[in-house]
Amino acid sequence: MRTIVTLPGDGIGKVVLDETIRVLNAAGFEAEYVEGDIGWEFWCNEGNPLPQRTLDLIAEHKISLFGAITSKPKDEAFGELSPDLKEKGLIYSSPIVGLRQHFGLDICLRPCRTYTGNPLNFIRRGPNDCIEEPEVDVAIFRQNTEGLYGGVEWSNPPEQVYDALMTHPKFKSNFGSAPVEDVSVSTRIFTKKYTERIVRAAFEHARKYGYKSVTVCEKPNVIRETSGMMYKMAQQIQKEDFHSIELWNTNIDAQMMWLTKNPENYGVIVAGNMFGDIVSDGFAGLIGGLGFACSAQYNPETGIGVFEPTHGSAPKYADYPVSIVNPIAMVESANMMLDFINEQDLAKKIKKAVADVVTEGKVRTYDMAKMSGRADVVKNGAASTTQMADAIIAKL
């Protein structure tokens, strides 16, 4: 039997994960679950939100389902640290970013596909004032370990760094007159190995699932070195190995406009870390938002994969006596896990059950019912997290 590491984390992460495991069990997925410690509680009590024992568990079992964690700014994090740890010079950093870096989970896939009948679907005005509901079916490949989220940054950079920056004529002319203590630098580093890996993953996905295009969504006309490298590499890879798939090139800013104008035109999209984050949230908004946005992140060499909804811990809903949040993003993330471990039939079965519930429209969490997220929404007709999971189970 398979062992799956569960990483519930904080806030609503715990409930969406519990409900998802109920769905997996009901669908007949045979697995043993072991829970890994991650999140705020472990930062406060141990000074580490991602303890070594959790890393060991993931390294051993390879496949994890992750709920969500709470992150707070540095100073606030320090304030909540247990008093006996305050002298240790600990600095808080996000455990989910840490997890991606530690295991080199460089491929992040975020699919955004319209659910028929979802009242949250994007609509637009068409010719003669008719209302159109374009069908979105996009797979976003986000480079997950490098770029602007790579963590190589300084405020008041040390001397060698500052001196090196001063050797760049543009740094010297544009920033050279600012006092060094007023300068903050965040780097955007791309490497060939991981750029090639994300671009190839995007093309392979397009071929496997019959998408006609791969769009590089960056900004190569301005960010010439990094975005430029990704686009050039995509041109080469397309020419060598993927003739039948079209390669498109959009700028992130223009893409954010076009995705509401004609989202149905796009297939696979590939981007660096930050632009991938942005464009995937943009597309997620067209198919129902955070209650529906799922993701897979994995390292193709080691086979380690972490599957998680893109939403956070939503602390304001975490303490409601009856949980109201939508578990679909977490359930769909589990479906991505099933696909990854070659349990496609089970994944299909659960996907169909989710789609049936959404299309039927009888059971809707508060977000789908377009209510504001108060504790009394269930009294007013919205489904609770548990009732939504029950409805999915009933369709299996």
Quick check: 331 and 353 in contact, CB under 8 A? no
Residue span binding ligand NAI (CB under 6 A) among the ranges 166-174, 176-184, 198-206, 325-333: 325-333
Picked from Mg ion, ligand NAI, none, the partner binding residue 19 (CB below 5 to 8 A depending on kind) is: none
In this complex, which beta carbon is closest to ligand NAI, that of residue 24 or of residue 314?
A: 314
Q: Which of 69, 136, 138, 341 binds ligand NAI (CB under 6 A)?
A: 69
In degrees, rounded to 5, the angle at the alpha carbon of residue 67 between the alpha carbons of residues 64 and 72 is 120
Question: Shortest Cβ contact with Mg ion: which residue?
Answer: 277
In this complex, which beta carbon is closest to Mg ion, that of residue 108 or of residue 354?
A: 108
In this complex, which beta carbon is closest to Mg ion, that of residue 195 or of residue 280?
A: 280
CB of 311 to ligand NAI, least distance (A): 3
Rounded Cα distance, 219 and 237, in Å: 19
Residues contacting residue 363 through CB under 8 Å, at least 6 positions apart: 357, 383, 387, 388, 391
Q: If binding is defined by CB under 6 A, does position 326 make contact with ligand NAI?
A: yes
Picked from Mg ion, ligand NAI, none, the partner binding residue 314 (CB below 5 to 8 A depending on kind) is: ligand NAI
Q: If binding is defined by CB under 6 A, does position 367 make contact with ligand NAI?
A: yes
Q: Which of 57, 294, 325, 377 binds ligand NAI (CB under 6 A)?
A: 325
In this complex, which beta carbon is closest to ligand NAI, that of residue 247 or of residue 324?
A: 324
Q: Give me the phi and psi of 64, to 5 degrees please.
A: -130, 150
CB of 312 to ligand NAI, least distance (A): 2
Rounded Cα distance, 215 and 154, in Å: 32
In this complex, which beta carbon is closest to ligand NAI, that of residue 137 or of residue 367?
A: 367
Q: Give me the phi and psi of 250, to 5 degrees please.
A: -125, 155
Q: Which of 110, 311, 351, 364 binds ligand NAI (CB under 6 A)?
A: 311
DSSP three-state, residue 96: helix
Q: Which of 70, 118, 215, 384 binds ligand NAI (CB under 6 A)?
A: 70
CB of 288 to Mg ion, least distance (A): 16
Q: Quote the strand ranges of 62-163, DSSP E.
A: 63-68, 107-113, 124-125, 131-132, 137-143, 153-155
Q: Which DSSP letter does residue 244 get?
A: T
What sign results for the dihedral spanned by CA atoms 72, 98, 155, 82? positive
Q: Give the position of tokens 């829970």.
A: 35
Of residues 39-68, which lie at the interface with ligand NAI (CB under 6 A)?
A: 68
Q: Which of 277, 308, 332, 343 binds Mg ion (CB under 5 A)?
A: 277
Of residues 329-348, which lie at the interface with ligand NAI (CB under 6 A)?
A: 329
Judging by DSSP bridges, how do beta strands 131-132 and 124-125 pair with one another?
antiparallel
The DSSP line for 145-184 is SSBTTS--EEES--HHHHHHHHTSHHHHHHHTTS-GGG-E
Q: If binding is defined by CB under 6 A, does position 108 make contact with ligand NAI?
A: no
Quick check: 263 and 134 in contact, CB under 8 A? yes
Picked from ligand NAI, Mg ion, none, the partner binding residue 68 (CB below 5 to 8 A depending on kind) is: ligand NAI
Rounded Cα distance, 394 and 354, in Å: 10
DSSP three-state, residue 202: helix
Question: Shortest Cβ contact with ligand NAI: which residue?
Answer: 312
In this complex, which beta carbon is closest to ligand NAI, that of residue 110 or of residue 205?
A: 110
Q: If binding is defined by CB under 6 A, does position 100 make contact with ligand NAI?
A: no
Picked from ligand NAI, Mg ion, none, the partner binding residue 214 (CB below 5 to 8 A depending on kind) is: none
Picked from ligand NAI, Mg ion, none, the partner binding residue 316 (CB below 5 to 8 A depending on kind) is: ligand NAI
DSSP three-state, residue 63: strand
Interface with ligand NAI (CB under 6 A): 68-71, 96, 290-291, 311-316, 325-326, 329, 367, 373
- Binding residues vs Mg ion (CB under 5 A): 277
